[in-house]
Amino acid sequence: MTDPITLAAHAKINISLRILGKRPDGFHALETLMVPIALADEIEISHGSGKAITLTCNDPELSTGPENLCTKAAEAFRAETGLDHGIAITLLKKIPHGAGLGGGSSDAASVLKGLNQLFDHPLVAEEMAQIAATLGSDVPFFLENRPAWCRGRGEIIEPAPTLPERNLFLIKPAFPVPTAWAYKKYAEMKESGELPTHADRQFLRDLEIINDLETPVFNKYLLLPVIKKWLQEQAEVECAFMTGSGSTMVAFIKPRLPEDEIPSLKKKVLAEFGETMWVTETCFSGC
């Protein structure tokens, strides 16, 4: 019996997210720079008894049924390979859900990679990518743990140049933002001419930091633009923005900042916005 496979399922941030229009299939055409970060869920995959797929998770708010992306990934893997072995998946969640950090998509990609390893690599990279694309727009990105420009629905992936190292602060309020709602609201605002031009321009060296979903999301979730403005005013912060469809706000910490100043920023966030905020310090994956 093969030993269990353990993988880290890394979160991501979107440094740039542009919506280029609506595709004939109903999805939005995107151009986004996605970067994996050190924050990660942990997934263990092993042979299960019988032919069932079982999923256990430390987060009681997440379903462990057939609608979970981990289970869907395992089902898709078995359908593609013709295997009918039992599969047991254990998921230790550290990435909050409804956060714009891609936790569910990363978990699904890790399940695909773990199963391919567990069953002695029956699928090549191209087949894995095809399965990943059926599971969700972000899932193909997570098959490779490196920064990438993602286009189309997200399935067209081009490796990005090396980024300057940065420490990051992630700040998420207690509420999630539904991804489908955010894109729908963007389309409605664009159709009605309510989308403003981007006046607030920020850069990471020569990369412009921009997120087309900020306007529709900020229009409803009024706390998020307040957090962004507050972060931009802090001496420790180089720039601040929303990742994905939210609700996580990202702050790039200024390079060469003394380490003892970073914990004080977390204290200031909690003092300003309350103890219900989820706040963590991280960095780009591999740092």
Q: Is 12 a catalytic residue?
A: yes
Structure token digits, residue 93: 């969640």
- Closest-CA residue to 108 (of 82, 74, 85, 80): 74
Q: Is 268 a catalytic residue?
A: no
Among residues 72, 93, 107, 138, the one annotated as catalytic is 138
How far is it, in rounded angstroms, from Cα 132 to Cα 102? Answer: 14
How far is it, in rounded angstroms, from Cα 14 to Cα 102? Answer: 10
Residue showing tokens 């997440």: 62
- CB-based contacts of 1, cutoff 8 Å, min separation 6: 47
Beta strands, E only, 23-163: 28-48, 53-57, 86-92, 148-152, 156-159
- Closest-CA residue to 213 (of 2, 63, 6, 16): 16
CA distance readout (Å), 70 to 60, 62, 101, 258: 15, 11, 16, 40
CB atoms near residue 65 (< 10 Å): 8
Between the two ends of the chain, the Cα-to-Cα distance in Å is 35
HSE toward the beta carbon, residue 83, CA cutoff 13 A: 22
How far is it, in rounded angstroms, from Cα 250 to Cα 167? Answer: 10
Among residues 12, 113, 172, 228, the one annotated as catalytic is 12
So which residues are the catalytic ones?
Answer: 12, 138
